[in-house]
Amino acid sequence: MSVLVDFALLAFLATTAIAVVRTTNLFAAVMLAGIYSLLTAGLFTVMDAVDVAFTEAAVGAGISTVLMLATLSFIGSKEESPQVRITEISAKVPDRRPLFPLFAVLVTGAILIWGTGDMPPFGDPADPIHHHVAPRYLEESGHEIGIPNVVTSVLASYRGFDTFGETTVVFTAAVGVMILLSAIRRKDRYGEERWGEEDVPNLFRGFVPNFWLGDDGRMRAPPSPQEPGEGGEGKAS
Amino acid sequence: MRILGLYNYWIFIFLMMVGFYILISRRNLVKKILGLNIFQTSVFIFYISMGKITGGTPPILVEGSEEVIYSNPLPHVLILTAIVVGVSTTAVALALVVRIKEAYGTIEGDEISAMDNQIPF
């Protein structure tokens, strides 16, 4: 029975992937990618990877889709197909031959499928992957760590440093996104581009009270009552 | 039965190649990121497929029972890490796309390289 579900989900996945290739509307493509992630989560559940399934459902189908939609709200959701190039510059660009990518993909795929001939059969308990360290975790982690979920034991205890490294990667990515996008916010707020002429780093802009900033975005002394003409706009914002 | 056992791997290869195709044939940067995500997810499916044992249960220990067959937990741990890292890289890539759109006014890869190479227009 679970084999049937497995087959059906894999067929849905293949169909969704083809649909992502064919659509030129980026909004539709992003939504299809969300469906794709959710189908993947279902497939993981069928294949006994419940932790992976709910991470994929929350992070892959949830957060990724939200990030993609937020991006589309900045850039618009139309992909220009090679046939409909409207800007003048694209007329000058030599057209890339579409057959070459297809050829590269077919050759790579054929080599990989040839390689699966040496793969151990799916779901067989005699596969080599099940006979090295995995039995030790299954037998000992219950006593050693005391958590029934073996995946949690391995993730948080045996391989805790690895997970720490992962957290560092996420932190670095978050800092990178903040630095990249802080320049956007700068342009939005003042309506013109400013490159490196401010004394308040944009990363900390959110923490600086608004009335400290002048109309040009620089920090300034709070408006004093002796200068009536100066502080009007600063106070209003 | 042999073909049945390899079906998962074939679909994995198919999905991977679809992602690869999007990556190298589409010029739109957001589309490229989507292709990269499909490619990445296909690798996840490959790992989880290898950990599955027919008739097994999820690797959550059952009290007082020695007969239970658990699927292999190690691929699950690796893929948990990979999913989170994958979303982080996606977020950075999307932030870069937003900046590129702001700086060049387009997110079509060939137009960007044309502007970089100063093709007169």
Q: What is the CATH number of the domain that holds A21?
A: 1.20.120.1200
* A190 part of a folded domain: yes
CB pair distance less than 8 Å for A92 and B74: no
- DSSP for A83-150, please give it: T---SHHHHHSPPPPTHHHHHHHHHHHHHHHHHGGGSPPTB-TTSGGGGSSHHHHHHHHHHHT--SBH
Note whether residue A166 is domain-resident.
yes
Q: Nearest residue of B to residue A164 by CA position?
A: B81
DSSP state of A215: T
Q: What share of chain A is helix, strand, coil (3-state, %, to 5)?
A: 70, 5, 30
Q: pLDDT tens, A105-142?
A: 999 999 999 988 888 888 788 888 888 888 888 888 88
Task: Flag if A56 and B83 touch (Cβ within 8 Å).
Answer: yes
**A96–B contact, CB cutoff 8 A:** yes
Q: Which residue of B has its CA nearest to A1?
A: B55
Residue of B15, B25, B102 lying closest to A14 (CB–CB): B15
Give the dihedral sign, CA A163/A168/A172/A177.
positive
Residue A83 lies in a domain: no
- How far does B4 lie from chain A, in Å, by closest CA? 8
Q: Note whether residue A108 is domain-resident.
A: no
Q: Is residue A17 part of a domain?
A: yes
B67 — contact with chain A (CB < 8 Å)? no
* Fold topology of B2-54+69-116: Helix Hairpins (1.10.287)
Structure tokens at A25: 């509307």
Which are the contacts of A228, defined by CB distance < 8 A and separation ≥ 6? none
* Inter-chain residue contact A116 with B6, CB threshold 8 Å: yes
Per the CB < 8 Å rule, is B95 touching A176? yes
The answer on pLDDT for B34 being more than 90 is yes
pLDDT at res. B19: 93
Q: How far is A194 from chain B (nearest CA, A)?
A: 13
Does residue A104 fall inside a structural domain? no
**Residue A221: pLDDT over 60:** no
Q: Into how many domains does chain A fold? A: 2
Final residue in a domain of this structure, among A78, A98, A117: A78
pLDDT, residue A198, reads 47
Residue A20 lies in a domain: yes
Question: End of a domain among A32, A49, A78?
Answer: A78
Q: Which residues pair with A213 in a beta bridge?
A: A219
Please indicate whether, in this complex, the C-beta atoms of B31 and A29 are within 8 angstroms of each other: yes
Domain limit, last residue, from A48, A78, A108 = A78
pLDDT of residue A84: 47
Half-sphere exposure of B80 (CA within 13 A, CB side): 22
Q: What is the ipTM of this complex?
A: 0.90
Where in the sequence is the domain holding A19, given as residue range(s)?
Answer: 1-78
Whole-angstrom Cα distance, residue B9 to residue A6? 12
A41 assigned to some structural domain: yes
Instruction: Identify which of B21, B48, B90 has the shortest CB distance to residue A64.
Output: B90
Would you kindly state where each structural domain of chain B is located, as residue ranges? 2-54+69-116
Predicted confidence (pLDDT) per residue in A49-64, tens digit: 899 999 999 998 899 9
